[in-house]
């Protein structure tokens, strides 16, 4: 288990400033860049930003944010988490990430997903009822674009391509590409079919529950004759000096976000007891560095994961608390997890 990679992931949630007001979208984006710069200095391996199209989140264009981060960092890999491929154009996605790859000297990575939000569909003129077809066709086209050779393709979801060559080319000839999956078995099988690494979005319940999905991924890869890569997992969390401090800071800000999203989905407001249960037994890594490290190590070992990305921002959590969580993750949590798993 020596080669586990650790990442941080954010959707650019609108934080409170140090005076307690909500940051603007622009401030929120600049703050994410500052957090990424710190993460790079601390030696964290990956920084991922996810696409949303809602007022609570500032990042709708992950690769533009990554481009900003690229020129201010040295080592950290720059990832999306996720790029909603279904409502995007695979050719443009490739071009934008190949550009980030150039700016970052080969550190760009894309995580493709279907997305658990739907705002991008009407925004870009897609019909939710084509959800499956859109992803199926576009991932197929994207996998061909990754060869970086001229592509001929036709389908129902975009204009056909005839021997189309797409630029810029990457220097390595290989744009790192993952697929993010939230629990649909069909998506796991599809990821294996294309031989992409699998990033499991585990945002509730015990991580053990996902062990069958890692088996499914490996067995499907075997059946398709593709490579089963080490799986990644991404889950939410927050780190402060002590367990109590982490929970006290995090819960009210998390609750604002969770209840707003939950109301759209018909869920009742989240209770403190549900939160405590999720922190204790589920997939919320909230607490002191020791607590978070212990729970992360256990989840990583259970799933045999090769990568763990922590979604460190939730709701309106203040900027300075977020920055400290990034620092504690890099300076204490990651070394502790490595020690535990060594």
Partner 1 sequence: MHSLTEPKQATIGILGAGKVGTVLARLAIAAGYPVLIASSRPPAAIELTIDVLAHGAEATTASDAAGRADIVILALPLGKALPLDGVETLPVDELRGKIVIDAMNYWWEVDGVRPDLTGDDVTTSELVATALPGSRLVKAFNHMGYHDLDEGARPAGDPDRKAIALSGDDVAANDVVADLIDSLGFDPVDLGALAEGAVLQPGRELFGANLSASEIRDVVERAAA
Write out the residues near partner 1 by the rule CB under 8 A.
116-118, 127-129, 131, 183-186, 188-189, 204-206, 209, 212-213, 215-216, 219-220, 223, 265-268
C-beta separation of 317 from 16 below 8 A: yes
Which one, 164 or 267, has the nearer CB to partner 1?
267
Which one, 155 or 183, has the nearer CB to partner 1?
183
Count CB atoms within 10 A of the CB of residue 182.
15
C-beta separation of 53 from 121 below 8 A: no
- CA separation for the pair 130, 122 (Å, rounded): 12
Residue with tokens 């007891």: 273
Which one, 220 or 326, has the nearer CB to partner 1?
220
Can you read off the two tokens belonging to residue 244? Answer: 């109590």
Which one, 43 or 212, has the nearer CB to partner 1?
212
Question: Interior CA angle at 16 toward 65 and 9, to 5°?
Answer: 40
- CA separation for the pair 201, 121 (Å, rounded): 21
- CA separation for the pair 342, 337 (Å, rounded): 8
Which one, 124 or 267, has the nearer CB to partner 1?
267
The CB-of-296 to partner 1 minimum distance in angstroms stands at 19
**What's the sign of the alpha-carbon dihedral 322, 326, 329, 332?**
negative
The CB-of-316 to partner 1 minimum distance in angstroms stands at 23
Could you tell me which residues come within 8 angstroms of residue 95 by beta carbon, excluding any fewer than 6 positions away? 166, 167, 168
Which one, 131 or 153, has the nearer CB to partner 1?
131
The CB-of-268 to partner 1 minimum distance in angstroms stands at 6
The CB-of-216 to partner 1 minimum distance in angstroms stands at 4
The CB-of-295 to partner 1 minimum distance in angstroms stands at 16
The CB-of-219 to partner 1 minimum distance in angstroms stands at 6
Phi, then psi, of 302 in degrees rounded to 5? -60, -40
């Amino acid at each position: 288990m020596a080669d586990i990679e650790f990442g941080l992931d954010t959707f650019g949630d609108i934080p409170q400033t140090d005076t307690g007001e909500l940051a603007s979208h622009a401030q929120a984006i600049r703050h994410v860049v500052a957090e990424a710069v710190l993460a790079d200095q601390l030696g964290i391996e990956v920084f991922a930003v996810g696409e949303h199209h809602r007022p609570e989140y500032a990042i709708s264009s992950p690769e533009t944010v990554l481009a900003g981060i690229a020129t201010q960092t040295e080592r950290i890999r720059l990832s999306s988490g996720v790029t909603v491929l279904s409502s995007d154009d695979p050719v443009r996605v490739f071009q934008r990430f190949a550009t980030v790859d150039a700016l970052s000297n080969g550190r760009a990575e894309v995580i493709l997903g279907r997305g658990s939000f739907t705002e991008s569909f009407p925004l870009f003129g897609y019909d939710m009822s084509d959800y499956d077809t859109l992803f199926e066709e576009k991932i197929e086209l994207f996998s061909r674009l990754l060869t970086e050779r001229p592509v001929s393709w036709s389908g129902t979801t975009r204009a056909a391509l005839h021997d189309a060559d797409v630029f810029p080319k990457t220097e390595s000839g290989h744009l790192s590409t993952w697929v993010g999956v939230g629990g649909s078995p069909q998506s796991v099988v599809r990821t294996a079919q294309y031989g992409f690494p699998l990033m499991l979005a585990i945002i509730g319940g015990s991580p053990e529950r996902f062990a069958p999905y890692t088996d499914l991924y490996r067995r499907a890869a075997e059946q398709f004759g593709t490579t089963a890569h080490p799986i990644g997992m991404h889950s939410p969390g927050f780190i402060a000096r002590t367990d109590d401090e982490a929970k006290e800071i995090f819960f009210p800000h998390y609750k604002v976000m969770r209840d707003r999203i939950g109301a759209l989905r018909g869920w009742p407001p989240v209770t403190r007891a549900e939160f405590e249960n999720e922190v204790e037994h589920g997939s919320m890594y909230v607490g002191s560095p020791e607590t978070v490290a212990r729970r992360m190590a256990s989840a990583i070992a259970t799933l045999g994961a090769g990568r763990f990305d922590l979604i460190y921002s939730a709701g309106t959590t203040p900027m300075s608390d977020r920055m400290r969580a990034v620092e504690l993750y890099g300076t204490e949590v990651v070394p502790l997890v490595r020690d535990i798993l060594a």
